[in-house]
């Protein structure tokens, strides 16, 4: 086994930036107070909480009161969908989403459908994973209260036209949520410019810790709490605030967004090299997703004659971390719902391979990865 240890699965998760870890550490031991306590211990924690909230609000161009801390992207999606749909139940019961959303959205919508009698329209996407805003507009009925479309897709990296969809939603007085979990480290998060009502983020996708996320909820957007208890997060999410992790997500988002241009330029160049290399060295390989409307470090393919899990295994043995698509569904027998939504036949979709770059990757990593992919595919096709 030749262990090069090249991590190319940044869409699954990223390492915590040492600067983020440094910012977090004092809040475990030194400033451990409960932000709700009146004493100085509590006040130190509260200061960190307020500063973190302000820092994130500044990046999102929103009011700090519009930031809700959650346990991560999935909880943010759950709170957004369930909280808004149930809050507007008097007004209507129709939710619009797409076929390529993350399961945190799809399964929440399905739950609302099954247990609460909502109607859900899942708008299809094209072969490149793009949603047509006109399709969304056409799906709106007088009973529609909410639209949820992801900012960028985890499996194929496609960036969705959420600004246009948000405009349509606004015009029709429908709440618009976007799952921005994959976008957080790479795309503009200005909620005024995006014109979204609800936006989900998870820290571990942009070099923050796991287990912490944010839901931006526009002031005035109806939202029922899903977790009740104390008055934390302005009664929208009860539970003692996780100060070290809140400090962590704020620090991580600030670093990611302030270094965004350099990072994206670097990743984009590496990504193009990676895609070019794989398409050139692996006969029959096809890029999935959109070639240009795509997350900067994201590459994904279908490779005929090879099986995703086996490529991942072969690459792991060669010291390279890759994935077939979503880490959340790894090991499942079902072919990717995203590729199915994009019209890929199950047979071809089984050959899905995702290689997602991050800050620490270099050109040498890309060259090694291309070589390793070509090598593994050749061997697996061997027989």
Instruction: Name the site residues for another protein (rule: CB under 8 A).
Output: 1-2, 307, 309-310, 313-314, 316-318, 331, 333-334, 376, 379-380, 382-383
Q: How many whole angstroms separate alpha carbon 369 and alpha carbon 271?
A: 12
Residue closer to another protein by CB (options 178, 323) is 323
DSSP structural state of residue 324? S
Q: Which long-range contacts (CB under 8 A, 24 or more apart) does 260-263 make?
A: 260/185, 260/186, 263/185, 263/186, 263/296, 263/359
Among the listed residues 291, 317, 328, 364, the single catalytic one is 328
Q: How many whole angstroms separate alpha carbon 346 and alpha carbon 337?
A: 10
Q: To the nearest whole angstrom, how small is the minimum distance from the Cβ of residue 146 to another protein? A: 28
Q: To the nearest whole angstrom, how small is the minimum distance from the Cβ of residue 357 to another protein? A: 23
Residue closer to another protein by CB (options 2, 29) is 2
Residue closer to another protein by CB (options 269, 330) is 330
Q: To the nearest whole angstrom, how small is the minimum distance from the Cβ of residue 339 to another protein? A: 16
Q: How many whole angstroms separate alpha carbon 115 and alpha carbon 180?
A: 26
Q: To the nearest whole angstrom, how small is the minimum distance from the Cβ of residue 372 to another protein? A: 11
Tell the residue number behind the tokens 């799809």, with chain if given: 106
Is 62 noted as a catalytic residue in this protein?
no
E strand or H helix that includes residue 251: helix 243-258
Residue closer to another protein by CB (options 7, 27) is 7
Q: How many whole angstroms separate alpha carbon 217 and alpha carbon 239?
A: 18
Q: How many whole angstroms separate alpha carbon 129 and alpha carbon 133?
A: 13
Closest by Cα among 45, 259, 296 to 157: 296
DSSP structural state of residue 150? -
CA distances from 204 to 26, 145, 246 (A): 20, 31, 12
Q: To the nearest whole angstrom, how small is the minimum distance from the Cβ of residue 308 to another protein? A: 9
Q: Is 296 helix (H, G, I), strand (E, B) or coil?
A: coil
Residue closer to another protein by CB (options 226, 340) is 340
Q: Which positions are catalytic?
A: 328
């Amino acid at each position: 086994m030749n262990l090069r240890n090249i991590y190319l699965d940044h869409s699954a998760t990223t390492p915590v930036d040492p600067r983020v870890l440094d910012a977090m550490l004092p809040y475990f031991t030194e400033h451990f107070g409960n932000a709700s306590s009146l004493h100085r211990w509590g006040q130190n924690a509260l200061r960190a909480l307020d500063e973190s909230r302000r820092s994130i609000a500044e990046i999102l161009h929103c009011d700090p009161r519009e930031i809700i801390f959650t346990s991560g992207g999935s909880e943010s999606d759950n709170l957004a969908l369930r909280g808004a749909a149930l809050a507007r139940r008097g007004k209507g019961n129709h939710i619009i989403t797409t076929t390529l959303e993350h399961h945190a959205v799809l399964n929440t919508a399905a739950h609302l459908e099954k247990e609460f009698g909502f109607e859900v329209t899942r708008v299809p996407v094209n072969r490149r994973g793009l949603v047509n805003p006109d399709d969304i507009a056409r799906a709106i009925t007088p009973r529609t209260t909410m639209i949820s479309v992801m900012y960028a897709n985890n499996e194929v990296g496609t960036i969705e036209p959420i600004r246009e969809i948000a405009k349509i939603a606004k015009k029709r007085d429908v709440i618009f949520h976007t799952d921005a979990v994959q976008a957080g480290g790479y795309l503009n998060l200005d909620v005024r410019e995006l014109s979204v009502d609800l936006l989900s983020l998870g820290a571990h996708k942009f070099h923050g810790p796991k287990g912490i996320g944010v839901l931006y909820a526009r002031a005035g957007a109806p939202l029922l709490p899903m977790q009740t208890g104390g008055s934390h997060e302005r009664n929208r999410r009860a539970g003692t605030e996780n100060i070290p992790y809140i400090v962590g997500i704020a620090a991580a988002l600030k670093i990611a967004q302030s270094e965004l241009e350099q990072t994206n330029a670097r990743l984009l160049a590496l990504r193009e090299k990676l895609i070019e290399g794989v398409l050139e060295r692996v006969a029959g390989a096809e890029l999935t997703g959109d070639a240009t409307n795509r997350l900067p470090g994201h590459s994904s393919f279908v490779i005929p004659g090879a099986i995703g899990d086996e490529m991942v295994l072969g690459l792991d043995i060669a010291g390279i971390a890759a994935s077939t698509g979503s880490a959340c569904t790894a090991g499942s027998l079902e072919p990717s719902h995203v590729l199915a939504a994009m019209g890929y036949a199950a047979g071809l979709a089984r050959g899905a391979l995702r290689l997602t770059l991050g800050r620490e990757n270099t050109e040498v990593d890309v060259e090694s990865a291309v070589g390793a992919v070509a090598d593994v595919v050749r061997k697996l096709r061997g027989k």
